[in-house]
Chains A and B, each alone.
Chain A
């Protein structure tokens, strides 16, 4: 296979959630190489780590995000895609430190105070990581102070907040207001089942999307990825 073909195959592995040769999923790819092996081959064949990121992983995860938005796939498919992406990223990590792989920037993610829901926020993190962002996941039940501390630690970051309970939307409002008071230039994205565009606007958030892919597309408009 040529390098281009390997990268295309890697993108398919991510899209289909094919982790490695041993992985029985998806059944129609059983026994074939997965993201793990193909990444190694692509790098050995001369693909740069940046090529792997932008021409394979981001391509695959973008398809995943679009399919998830369009309700063609479900959370488990997304989890498997993220696992395949992680199997590839393991081989790229050494290049992060040497700056051979350039990420778009950092996004701090957290579910707001009083809210223990994790999976939606994690899915957003997986999709955004696949779009070339470094993710700092603060977890669930994140206090306003913890968000503030994270922004202080990552000065140029963006912030993503999640709330799944109507009772914790007020905590989101407080966190957004405090962050905007102290770091007015910091972009804040919000999401979660009970949220709306109107609510996001009212509390001063910069962007709301009902699905992760919406966040990717918004971020593409404000921070284009250079090849």
Chain B
């Protein structure tokens, strides 16, 4: 089988020739440091993993007066931003002694919204939330542009990738620094602790906020019809039970993201629901959203709660499972034999009958080359 056939087999619930093995995002700092500087595709070839191509191609809805932002140079995995006369984004570098710091201002006819992002060599984060007052969501509802999927660009890149591997997209995130899941996007824009407390204090406002973000994502997903994604990512770690309760998941996460999954299916797309954190208390709730695949099945050693064998038993016949590998303990500071055993353990726990892709439970910042080689090589021996 080609890598693409292998991925599609497990996503479609049929048996592959062997266990598919890949990674989540490859962090630029990792690629620049560990293998001595290389691109994504070189990484897959060097270590023998099944490749993934991430494609995030957006286009403006010109009938609504929107356009691609000429001032925006997309960063890693970031789509080109769409703007309009009523929704412009300006960026201003701020002085900081340790981190690259940028204030983004969303300029609208009524008032401006601001957010501040910081980054270091490993990652980026929000240091000032965009939503500071509850009425700020009305500005978003009224003026934010609705990006569409650039189907031609997705297909151009997918065709060029061919049988090499899986083409993965992302449900549209909010501008500048957003996330694919509706709840997760809201969390990034408002702050997770604040959002949790508002579910108790002002649940109507939380629902109004989620509805605004959901509407934006719905328009995007409807526009993906015909795009040759193999899978699109939805969700986010703030919907995990490491952060929220099953009660909040059922009331504030599932109703919105399950409708997005329905929209994606209507557009001919498959969805992988990303939950980096606790999953075990909500495994069935996640599967009930009718997602095609679930990730990251983070084990306890990585701060999650997954018992991979139990997860397979409970939902393995309903969805494709991606992840479950402890990259912290088995891609660093151990022997290749230990890594190989960890691969075998994952295969034994979740590989039965297919529907499983071996993958680190989310991205990693560090991994030793010899252990990466053992990881991929041992997976190649896990045949069906």
Contacts and interface: CB of A to CB of B under 8 A. Distances in A.
Q: How many residues of B sit at the interface, in one of the four size bands?
A: 20 to 34
A76 B366 contact: no
Nearest to A193: B303
A76 B248 contact: yes
Contact of B244 (A76, A83, A167, A210): A76
Given A25-B200, A193-B302, A75 B242 contact: yes
B145 interface: no
A71 B300 CA distance: 13
Nearest to A119: B193
B244 A194 contact: no
Nearest to A26: B200
A21 interface: no
B365 A166 contact: yes
Contact of B366 (A24, A167, A192): A167
Contact of B122 (A73, A75, A167): A167
A164 interface: yes
Interface string B290-303: 00000000001111
Interface in B312-355: 328, 332
Interface in A99-141: 114, 116, 118-119, 122
Interface in A146-201: 164-167, 192-194, 196
A37 interface: no
Interface in B217-246: 241-246
A79 interface: yes
Nearest to A114: B120
B125 interface: yes
Contact-residue size bin, chain A (C-beta under 8 Å from the other chain): 20 to 34
Interface in B228-279: 241-248
B283 interface: no
B91 interface: no
B86 interface: no
Nearest to B27: A167
B245 A76 contact: yes
Contacts of B26: none
B199 interface: yes
Interface string A75-88: 11101100100000
Nearest to B192: A119
Contacts of B32: none
A74 interface: yes
B309 interface: no
Contact of B246 (A74, A83, A116, A119): A74
A159 B237 CA distance: 28
Task: Identify which of A114, A165, A166, A196 gathers the most chain B CB atoms within 10 Å of its CB.
Answer: A166
B100 interface: no
B363 to A, nearest CB: 11
Contacts of B305: 71
A80 B248 CA distance: 13
Contacts of B242: 75
A73 to B, nearest CB: 8
Given A166-B365, A166-B366, A79 B328 contact: no
Nearest to A75: B243
Nearest to B196: A76
B94 interface: no
Given A79-B197, A116-B125, A74 B241 contact: yes
A165 B364 CA distance: 10
A45 to B, nearest CB: 29
B245 A194 contact: no
Contacts of A24: 200
B200 A194 contact: no
A196 B333 CA distance: 13
B200 A80 contact: yes
Interface in B117-142: 120, 122-123, 125, 127
Given A74-B241, A74-B246, A119-B243, A164 B303 contact: yes
A166 B328 CA distance: 7
Nearest to A24: B200
B351 to A, nearest CB: 26
A75 B302 contact: no
A164 B237 CA distance: 14
Contacts of A83: 197
A166 B302 CA distance: 9
A76 B199 contact: yes
A194 B303 contact: yes
A87 B122 CA distance: 40
Given A119-B193, A194-B328, A74 B303 contact: no
24 contacts: A23-B200, A24-B200, A25-B200, A73-B245, A74-B244, A74-B245, A74-B246, A75-B243, A75-B245, A76-B244, A76-B245, A79-B196, A79-B197, A80-B200, A83-B197, A116-B125, A116-B127, A122-B193, A164-B303, A165-B122, A166-B364, A166-B366, A193-B303, A194-B328
Interface of A: 23-25, 71, 73-77, 79-80, 83, 114, 116, 118-119, 122, 164-167, 192-194, 196, 210
Q: Which 5 residue pairs of A and B lie closest in terms of their CB atoms, listed nearest first?
A: A193-B303, A74-B245, A167-B365, A25-B200, A76-B196
Given A79-B193, A165-B123, A210-B300, 4 more contacts: A71-B281, A71-B305, A74-B245, A119-B192
